[in-house]
Amino acid sequence: MSRATFYTQAMPDTDKLGTDELARVLMSEERRGWQNPEKVVRAIGVTRGMVVADLGCGPGFFTIPLASAVGRSGLVYGVDSNAGMLSYLRDNLEKIGKTPIGLVKLIEADVAQTDIPSGTVDVAFFANILHDLTEPSKFLREVRRMIKKDSIIVDIDWEKKESGFGPPLEIRLSAAQSKEILRGGGFKVVGSVYAGRFHYGLVCRSI
Ligand SMILES: C[S@@+](CC[C@H](N)C(=O)[O-])C[C@H]1O[C@@H](n2cnc3c(N)ncnc32)[C@H](O)[C@@H]1O
């Protein structure tokens, strides 16, 4: 089986999957083969004691390394509107109970309306979600509310290029389109993180 065929079977059109199958795909070893969440978290510069919001966290592919990075003195909010995804995240956190991870607070909510206290978040992180939102401006207003003045905002999403798996091409946002949306929400792109060959990673600050 070619590498491309293997990935196509392992990561099908993610828009068509139910919660259980999507959660499996999101946490799969196949995904780790082309996207290393620990490296992404290191590249962002998440450190001990930080407060991080993982918005649209799913079963925890990034939430878990984020929690390890902030340690027990930090805090990670895992926000998702799908209770099933949060249940997978809870199980996945329990499975690695021996790892020294920081406190993870699960919030079942729309990312555009969380109860994260205002002005408290050091890093607002969102992966594979901006392309799915019908009202990104509402979401970005909520991000602005929760962050501190000098916070980092990280948007990771699929390249708008045929990959044979992942969300359909027509709903993906190119990096340029995402930059435009982020700018409209009051954020300027100041750098990038490598998030694997199928994704871009934009690092932003408030304008
Ligand atoms: C493709 S998954 C990505 C999960 C995770 N960020 C990752 O990269 O592994 C998108 C997640 O965002 C959640 N989601 C989508 N729209 C949302 C919204 N408006 N509010 C909260 N969560 C949302 C979905 O339930 C799903 O768990």
pLDDT tens string for the chain (207 positions)? 333 333 344 445 555 678 999 999 999 999 999 999 999 999 999 999 999 999 999 999 999 999 999 998 999 999 999 999 999 999 999 888 756 567 899 999 999 999 999 999 999 999 999 999 999 999 999 999 999 999 999 999 999 998 888 899 999 999 999 999 999 999 999 999 999 999 999 999 999
Taking each helix axis from N to C end, the angle separating 175-184 and 136-146, rounded to the nearest 10 degrees, works out to 60
Token reading at 70: 């902030």
Mapped onto helix, strand or coil, the DSSP state of residue 10 is helix
Contact yes or no for 93/76 (Cβ under 8 A): no
Pairing, β 51-55 against β 103-108? unpaired
Find where tokens 């021996």 sit. 98
Pocket of ligand 1 (CB under 6 A): 14, 26, 56-58, 61-62, 80-82, 85, 110-111, 127-129, 132-133
Contact yes or no for 175/200 (Cβ under 8 A): yes
Token reading at 192: 């990038």
Domain borders along the chain are 3-206
Closest ligand 1 atom to the C-alpha of 82? 25
Phi, psi of 65 (to 5 degrees): -65, -30
Phi-psi region of 145 (alpha: psi -120 to 50; beta: other; left: phi over 0): alpha
Closest ligand 1 atom to the C-alpha of 127? 6
111 to 7, 143, 172, 206: CA distances (angstroms)? 29, 9, 19, 18
Contact yes or no for 55/205 (Cβ under 8 A): no
What's the pLDDT score for residue 99? 61
CATH number of 3-206: 3.40.50.150
Q: Rounded CA gap, 56 and 126, in Å? A: 6
